[in-house]
Structure 1
Amino acid sequence: MPNQQFSKQLIYMLIGSAIILALSLGVRHGFGLYLVPISDSFGWGHHIFSLAIAMQNLIWGAAQPFTGAIADKYGTKKVVIAGGVLYSIGLVLMAFSSTSLLLNLSMGLIIGLALSATSFTVLLSAVGRAAPPEKRSMVMGIASAAGSFGQFIMLPSTLLLLKNIGWSSALLVSAFAVAFIIPLAWLLKTPSSTAPKALDQQNLTFKQVLTIAKNHKPFWWLSLGFLVCGFQVVFLGVHLPGYLIDHGFDATTGTVFLALVGLFNIVGTYGAGWLGDRFSKPRLLMLLYGLRGIAIIAFLLLPLSIFTVYSFGIIMGLLWLSTVPLTNGIVANMFGVKYLSMLSGIVFFTHQIGSFFGGWLGGVNHDLAGNYNMIWLACLLLSVFGVLIHLFVNEEAVIHD
């Protein structure tokens, strides 16, 4: 009977986490489609929108360890409810942002804080605590895949809204959709059968855990590796639609590219979680970053066409957020699950530093040079760095469950 109860509650958590991630990340991944219409509407260069999206990623990352610590102490449900409220408010304000200051306040600060409470770190940590250790990576992969399904569904919907009702009204509709995160948060109840296990972990304080993490070098190598992921996915997510428009394609091509990324990332994240329970996670991360670099080289060298754009979307989808269940799984193996939200949040902060520079420098490069050449080069060099840095990462337990 306890096993039945555990399975039922874990399924509820997975369903709740899946839909929340689909809404939160689905809307967030659509922000790249707003770059051109909002910039054209106010006569801005791409750097203004790029700075706001970069600030969003930086604030998201900076807030994540604190949001994670609150979730670890007071529960995931309360944090997600607060995030859902902030997300809706931020989207409404963004719909009326006619100055760079308002855009940074809404899309940058408010939505950045909201994402720290409604995205991977908090939700994957919750399902990770609820799952048995031998299934942890796979369960995280399932939840991660849901965020990708949200990207697949929400991107075409966002484009349809942009074409039919304009960018401002599209944001109001998104705000209404995101508000459903609030009632969904009630599904995030940790299975009672796993609670004692988490609480019986070594009786360490937040400060003691942070000290242990600070002195554990593989933890910091892992964090630096995640910076590569942030830079690459935000550059591509925000700027590839604009890059394609520069080369004569319409907005639909960029939307289909991002939708394909979302669709095939369902396979990629689930597959990464499944493989992470069976093989070395650091070695899998090395493979992922290496394949990303090869895919980028092929995309840049081959003649640009619908076929190469969509093929690139499929390949990058398989590699897109496959890093997330593997990286969080390594943190869980190193330090256990009691403070997983906080520690994963620290690793995620470096991801968001990369995201800041990938989003912002993409716009700066475009406005100064009229192209993205330097950022493409940076993506390639960072792929090499991502492969090399994970040579120094291991999954050895420092704190046991």
Structure 2
Amino acid sequence: MAISGDPLQTGQDRRSRARRVHPAWLIAAVAFLALVAAAGFRAAPSALIEPLQSEFGWSTSAISVSVTVNLLLFGLTAPFAAALIQRFGVRRITTVALSLVAAGAALSVLSTAPWMLTLTWGVLIGLGTGSMALVFAASIADTWFLERRGLVVGILTAGSATGQLVFLPLVAVVAESSGWRWATLAVATAAFLMVPVVAGFLRDRPEHLGVTPFGAPDGWQPPQRSSGNPARAALAALRDASRSRTFWALVAGFAICGATTNGLVGTHFIPSAHDHGMPQTTAAGLLALVGVFDIVGTIGSGWLTDRVNPRILLGVYYIGRGIGLAVLPLLLDATVNPPMLVFIIVYGLDWVATVPPTVALCREAFGDRGPLVFGWVFAAHQLGAAVAALTAGLIRDHTGQYTLAWFGAAGLCAVAAVISVAIRRPGTRPQAQA
């Protein structure tokens, strides 16, 4: 029998640990599935605008109000959700969030007026998805991983794209064949089914499983956990971060990111393509294809973020996105042509590839407060998305087309690229303002 300190026993223990999959990867897998479920309904409204207009005669801007409220709450909930996760644990918050998404989707089938859609799509689902926003991915990565954080953020961010990939074609087909209510109930069911999975398998911290984070060195000690008021912690993070130029640069860039993805393309691509004679299911398939390539692009961006200056990555991503939006009005047609497929591939690779480098810059500039600060940066992302969703709807109602919205978004991407490349490294110049 081997005694303590026996070299043979020590070597066997090391090999056993090497063969065993670290629990952090299981937690990341459950988090990925939860993000897929939460993302389902965020992709759905773009495929439901036309059916709602056909049944009720509502204008694009009237329906866009509910999407705008959803996007606003999705963003404004995020920093407080990050503080709640630190205070009460990721499992409780995620379980409540998925329940809100499922309830909001299920209740929306009773809507007979735009304000009812705003309460369900906007308020309930906005609060639920906001609590499952990308701060959730940042919290999982920062809590469970000390190595491969960029890659993990990329994988979890791709969960949103996977939700779009899985649900958008389904929603479009069901809405066309059976009506928008059955399509909405399908999304609600998926969110409900994910609740017991999260409650049963997700864990708050590595210590709860008797392990250290992935990549933790010998002697690692867990950081002190917040025990104060979550709202106060979130507001304190905003107060302190707002003294930094880096924070405002990240806010501006990420607001433009939200405007040019969820707000504009995510909400209005299908109606815009339909204006040019493209069938709704075809347009939904193209938007889902964006999700396919987003998975590749976001995971690849996470890998690159661990190796390349994130400022350079953001500059490249925004320039590429702006070029795509500038040419999109020339590509829209009743049929899918090869240039449109090129746009879909490039835009998909770039869709939320901005997230891993943005999270990395928050961590670089604000340390352990990085997830909380990213919550506020993400709030700006959704504020930009909400403004773009409403503005594009108004442009469509007043001009009869979306062309001005596409060109305006392209110009904003150039601004975001310049801002991102100019972000200073910590210590190169004082960050705080008097």
TM range (shorter): over 0.9
Structure 2 partner of 1:236: 265
Pick aligned residue for 1:332 from 357, 363, 367: 363
Q: CA deviation at 1:322?
A: 0.6
Q: Which of 193, 197, 206 is residue 191 of structure 1 equivalent to?
A: 206
Shift in Å at residue 335 of structure 1?
2.1
- Once residues 199 and 240 of structure 1 are traced to their aligned partners in structure 2, the CA distance between those partners, rounded to angstroms, is 44
Number of aligned residue pairs: 397
Does 2:403 correspond to 1:373? yes
Say whether the 8 Å CA contact 2:328–2:406 is kept in structure 1. no
* 1:229-280 per-position Cα deviation (integer Å, ceiling 9, x unaligned): 1101121111111111110111122111111100000110001000000001
Tell me by how many angstroms 1:209 deviates: 4.3
Equivalent in the alignment of 2:90: 76
Q: Residue type of the partner of 1:244? A: A
How far is 1:4 from its partner? 5.7
Q: Map of 1:52-131 to 2, 5 A cutoff? A: 52-131=66-145
| One-letter code aligned to 1:56 | N
Confirm whether residue 323 of structure 1 aligns to residue 350 of structure 2: no
- SS at the partner of 1:180? helix
Which of the pair has more CA radius of gyration? 2
- TM-fit CA distance, 1:27: 2.7
1:354 match:
384
Q: What are the residue-to-residue correspondences of 1:168-187 with 2, within 5 Å?
A: 168-186=181-199, 187=201
- Of 194, 218, 226, 2:254 maps to 226
Q: Give distance in 1, aligned partners of 2:246 and 2:406.
A: 28
Counterpart-to-counterpart distance in 2, 1:232 and 1:46: 18
**Quick one: higher RCO (CA 8 Å, sep 6+), 1 or 2?**
1
Amino acid at match of 1:318: L
CA change 1:220–1:198 in 2 (3 A) is farther
Q: Could you tell me how far apart the structure 2 residues matched to 1:231 and 1:377 are?
A: 13
CA contact (8 A) 2:28 2:140 kept: no
Which secondary structure does the structure 1 equivalent of 2:264 belong to? helix
Q: Deviations over 1:97-125 (max 9, x none)?
A: 11111011000111100011123212332
Partners of 1:121 and 1:341 within 8 A in 2 = yes
Q: What CA distance in whole angstroms lies between the structure 2 residues aligned with 1:117 and 1:199?
A: 23
**Correspondence for 1:254:** 283
CA distance in 2, matches of 1:181, 1:124: 20
Q: CA deviation at 1:146?
A: 2.5
Alignment of 1:261-276 (within 5 A): 261-276=290-305
- List alignment gaps of at least 5 residues for structure 1: none
Determine helix, strand or coil for the equivalent of 1:199. Answer: coil
Output the aligned Cα RMSD: 2.5
8 Å Cα contact 1:129-1:198 kept in structure 2: no
Tell whether 2:339 aligns with 1:311: no
1:165-203 CA-to-partner distances (Å, cap 9, x unmatched) read 210121112111111231232333222213965515999
Question: Counterparts of 1:388-399 in structure 2 under 5 Å?
Answer: 388-394=418-424, 396=426
Match of 2:171 among 142, 158, 182: 158
What corresponds to 1:147 in structure 2? 160
State the partner residue of 1:288.
317
- In structure 2, how many angstroms separate the alpha carbons of the residues matched to 1:383 and 1:108? 27
> Within 1, Cα distance between the matches of 2:20 and 2:377?
29
1:329-353 C-alpha deviation (Å, 9 max, x unpaired): 221222234x443221100111011
Distance 2:425 2:93 in 1: 29
| Alignment check: 8 A CA contact 1:23 1:181 kept | yes
In 2, the alpha carbon distance for the partners of 1:273 and 1:76 equals 22
CA drift at 1:323: 0.9
Which residue matches 1:25?
Answer: 39
Letter in 2 for 1:311: V
Q: Is the Cα contact below 8 Å between 2:41 and 2:105 reproduced in 1?
A: no
Measured in 1, the distance between the counterparts of 2:272 and 2:137 equals 33
Q: 1:279 to 1:41 in 2, by over 3 A?
A: same
What's the TM-score once normalised by structure 1's chain length? 0.92
- Partners of 1:129 and 1:5 lie apart in 2 by 22
Give a deviation string over 1:117-175, Cα, whole Å, max 9, x none. Answer: 1232123322232111x411111111112321222121121122112221012111211
CA distance in 2, matches of 1:108, 1:185: 24
Which residue number corresponds to residue 3 of structure 2?
none
2: distance between equivalents of 1:284 and 1:12? 29
Judged with a 3 Å threshold, the aligned counterparts in structure 2 of structure 1 residues 287 and 163 are, in CA distance, closer, same or farther, namely same
SS in 1 for 2:39: helix
Please identify, of 340-349 and 218-227, the stretch whose mean Cα deviation from structure 2 is larger: 340-349
Identify unmatched segments of 5+ residues in structure 2: 1-12
Tell me if structure 2 keeps the 8 A contact 1:292–1:319. Answer: yes
More helix by share: 1
In structure 1, the residue matched to 2:417 is 387
Q: Matched residues in 2 for 1:356 and 1:6: separation?
A: 45
